[in-house]
Structure 1
Amino acid sequence: MNSYVRDDIDLSFINRIAVLPFENNSSDKYAASRIRNIAITQILSLGLADVIDKGLVDSVILEEAVEANKPIDQMTLKRLGQRLNVQAFLMGNVDSSGTVRRGSMTFPSAALTLRFVDARAAKILWQASGYYSGETVMNRLFGLSPGDHFQISTTLVRRLLMTYPAPPPEARQKEVEKDL
């Protein structure tokens, strides 16, 4: 896993985010939607930020006539940020999602790239990429179940998000209270 954090910006200003639809570069046509849902759950469970409901996000994207799997320009990101009242977006790419075969065994696998993008400046604030599969020595030696695509995706998303340098919950709470 590799990650990048912009060091010239204090990330504690991020309290509310919108998770945009992920790009899908895999043959699994539902991977992007599934992993977007997992990312929303993991962001909330890790306490990284408040997340705007994806139905509202999708509705605003539709109203703004943003095309799926097309780059979003800075002005459009800024408008989306203002309409959704968010400081940043989580964007992602499903680089691969499938099954790996090793001998007679098959294992689910996934490769993802996640990034937080500033809603005003369209700068990448944080980005992480990684690969994870259900293949382990223990699974192969003892014929243990390697898990399914959901479990593999959840583990990978959580590991990637754990590289994000979130401020402590009490610092986030103070920022939220300022907004009220």
Structure 2
Amino acid sequence: MTKKKLNNVAVRRNVLRSPDRFASFFLIVIFSLFFITNVCYAVQSSRGEERVLKERIALFPFVNLSEDRDALRYVMPVLRARLEGKGFDVVDEDSINRFLLKERIRATGYISRDMARKIGSELKVKAVLLGSVNLFSRGANPGVGFSARLIDSSSGLILWADNASATGDDFTAILGLGRIKNMDNLLPRVADRLLASFTAMPSRKETKETKETYRIAVMPFRNNSGVRDAGMIATYMFLVELFKNPVFEPVEYGEVRRAVVDLRVRERGELDYRDMKALSDSLGVDGFLVGTVELYSDGLNASSPPEVSISARIVDARKNRVLWCESCQLKGDDDIIVLDWGRIRSVDKVASRIVSKLVKRAEKVCGATVPAASVPSSEVKKTGEPLSR
């Protein structure tokens, strides 16, 4: 071996013996630990997301307020499939039916706080989804409409709520393309609209960072329209729109119904001061929404637009006075822009548009009268008094 080669070997040995090899070793160890930590965190995160998506909920049979007696036979399987597709663990139908039978529950469109807690304890669910089928028509122009609410099983509070409605003609594009002609294709589309924002997470109104809200009880609307269940359709729609509005915190209708039955309040659309005081103490609310459905028409024929007229007012429970009062009447062709763009083809969608307008107008008045220091709704007992701390 030449002298030059011997020198090169000696240099390489010196390099290997130098402290740099220890630095390289530690760098390799650090990068390895960083990689392993990230992998473990990703696995834990995915498992955490899976736990969130696998929230267990109870799906009550929706109350059928449509004119089709078979509506629920079509609607409920689609809603269940959509919820399971979103990753929720939905209690099986047999378990729900056994619970309803045991508790002698016949009206499934609302739930009291005590009953929500009972089903939460027995079936181990986080929340209960309930609602109404407001429209179900399988004619030449099929139509579907829903109102739905998700109720927390521990507090009885509304976690989520929404309305959704559409007809086959609503999907018509240029040259008549896109029109949906049968219920099998329309129902999944409307169910997807209804559940697009669905979540079992607590509402922003329950967090301490949000400003105080106006806690309100929606009383059953009087129905002067002559159309069966039009009053309850409006009642459920107002519950949804009030929940979606940042100023209001509506009490679940099941609690209102419990108080109405316990206190034997019979008149719909009206409240006297004695009933208002008793209901306010029971529900712990700032005010009441009462009203009347004057007109609820789907049109006499294909050329006649649907038309709805609703009057509503908010009565303040603290001052015993009417805080806001307004009426609204709307036809399906009132908002046409050009040709048929803007036409509303279903009566429940016209009603939903009216309800949304009225709630936005009420917000301007009630937003300025929100109590400065309300008791959080989760701390109101059945008597309406704050819990002792």
Deviations along 1:64-102, one digit per CA (max 9) or x if unpaired, are 111143743201111100110001001111011113458
1:72-111 matches, within 5 Å, as 72-101=271-300, 105-111=303-309
Which is richer in helix?
2
Greater Cα offset, 116-125 or 24-33: 116-125
Unmatched runs of 5 consecutive residues or more in structure 1: 1-11
Q: How many Å separate the matches in 1 of 2:353 and 2:311?
A: 14
Q: Which has the larger radius of gyration?
A: 2
Taking structure 1 as reference, are residues 30 and 61 closer, same or farther at Cα in structure 2, changes over 3 Å only?
A: same
Equivalent position amino acid for 1:116 in 2: I
Deviations along 1:11-31, one digit per CA (max 9) or x if unpaired, are x98621100000111011111
Establish whether residue 179 from structure 1 lines up as the match of residue 378 from structure 2: no
Deviations along 1:32-89, one digit per CA (max 9) or x if unpaired, are 1011111111111122211111011011101111114374320111110011000100
Residue 122 of structure 1, CA deviation: 2.9
Equivalent position amino acid for 1:72 in 2: L
- Percent identical pairs in the alignment equals 21
Taking structure 1 as reference, are residues 138 and 20 closer, same or farther at Cα in structure 2, changes over 3 Å only?
A: closer
1:2-151 matches, within 5 Å, as 15-69=214-268, 71-101=270-300, 105-136=303-334, 138=336, 141-142=339-340, 146-151=344-349
Residue 109 of structure 1, CA deviation: 1.0
Q: How many Å separate the matches in 2 of 1:21 and 1:137?
A: 29
Partner of 1:163: 361
The number of equivalent residue pairs is 164
User: TM-score, normalized by length of structure 1?
Assistant: 0.78
User: TM-score, normalized by length of structure 2?
Assistant: 0.38
Partner of 2:30: none
Contact 2:218 2:251 (8 Å CA) reproduced: yes
Q: How many Å separate the matches in 2 of 1:143 and 1:158?
A: 20
Q: How many Å separate the matches in 2 of 1:35 and 1:70?
A: 12
